[in-house]
Amino acid sequence: MTARAWPSREEWQAKAEYAVRTACTKYERLDRAQPDTVWFSLAEDQEFEDLAAPAAAKFRALLTAEINRLRELLPDRPKEGRARNAWFVALEGQAYEDACNLGALEEMRRDVQRARREEHWGVVCWQLGRVRNHYKQITLPSHLTEAYSRMVKLQASAEKRREEAADAIQRSAIEREIARRATDEAWAQELERRAAIDHPRVIRVGQTPPIKGDQVT
Q: What is the pLDDT of residues 76-130, one digit of tens each?
A: 999 888 999 999 999 899 999 999 999 999 999 999 999 999 999 999 999 999 9
pLDDT at 212 over 60: no
Neighbours of 53 (CB within 10 A): 14
Q: Give the whole-number percent of the chain exceeding pLDDT 90.
A: 87
| pLDDT reported for residue 217 | 38
C-alpha angle with apex 59: 101 to 40, nearest 5 degrees? 115
What is the identity of the amino acid at 18?
Y
Question: pLDDT tens, 27-45?
Answer: 999 999 999 999 999 999 9
| pLDDT reported for residue 215 | 47
Burial class (CB in 10 A: 0-12, 13-18, 19+), 48: buried
